[in-house]
Amino acid sequence: MTDFPPEITKEEMGKVSLFLSNINSTFSKERSNLIPILQEAQNRIGYLPHEAMLGIAEFLDIPDIDVYSVVTFYNQFRLNPPGKHSIRVCMGTACHVGGGTVIMDAWKRRLGIDKRQTTPDREFDLDTVACVGCCAMAPVTVIDEEVQGKISPTRVDGILLGYQIERKKESQSS
């Protein structure tokens, strides 16, 4: 399911160390805290690098493999670093019958990555969600927490073009 994650950056490593050094002030050493700890770590670091998982296992004094098994069991946890923008294509029932697969294909084609991957420039990461409750506007894609309804392959192109222009402007002004 998950490709081998890319190498951790220095900045991320800093976040991992910071998180691990503060962990015992927010959480007690109880096994039942594993999922909340992982959620918090992902919030802080953006994803769950190897180093973070090992540190958490050590903190809770449980085998590394237990942490890994929980991380890979739940859809919420990611082993890949997030992109600057997250693209979540709804694959709920209504979106499926409304053409969700076509939209997923369009994103994959344009970004050149598969589900649960991040573009090499770390601009975008792509994943699916199951029904965000906006079935009335199927097919739906959630971009950075914002739900966009009635997506078509041309809208996909349009949205990406928007980001491209934005980036060009940014690089010109800097």
Which parts of this chain interact with other proteins (CB under 8 A)? 30-36, 38-39, 69-70, 73-77, 91-94, 96-99, 102, 105-106, 109, 129-138, 140, 145, 147-149, 152-154, 157
Verify binding: residue 151, ligand FES, rule CB under 6 A: no
Q: How far is CA 11 from CA 31, 45, 79, in A?
A: 29, 9, 16
> CA-to-CA distance for 81 and 46, rounded, in angstroms?
6
Q: Which of 92, 103, 106, 111 binds ligand FES (CB under 6 A)?
A: 92
Q: Residue 48 has which token pair?
A: 């769950």
Q: Which of 13, 135, 148, 163 binds ligand FES (CB under 6 A)?
A: 135
> CA-to-CA distance for 87 and 85, rounded, in angstroms?
7
Q: Which of 134, 148, 153, 155 binds ligand FES (CB under 6 A)?
A: 134
Cβ closest to ligand FES, residue 120 vs residue 133 = 133
Provide, rounded to whole angstroms, the least separation between the CB of residue 14 and other proteins.
26
Give, in degrees to the nearest 5, the angle at Cα 113 between 111 and 115.
Answer: 115
Q: Which of 86, 131, 143, 163 binds ligand FES (CB under 6 A)?
A: 131
Cβ closest to other proteins, residue 46 vs residue 149 = 149
Provide, rounded to whole angstroms, the least separation between the CB of residue 93 and other proteins.
3
List strand residue ranges (DSSP E) for the chain, in order. 85-90, 117-118, 124-129, 141-143, 146-148
Spatial CB neighbours of 103, under 8 Å, sequence gap ≥ 6: 89, 95, 139, 141, 151, 152, 153, 156
Binding region for ligand FES (CB under 6 A): 90, 92-95, 131-135, 138, 140
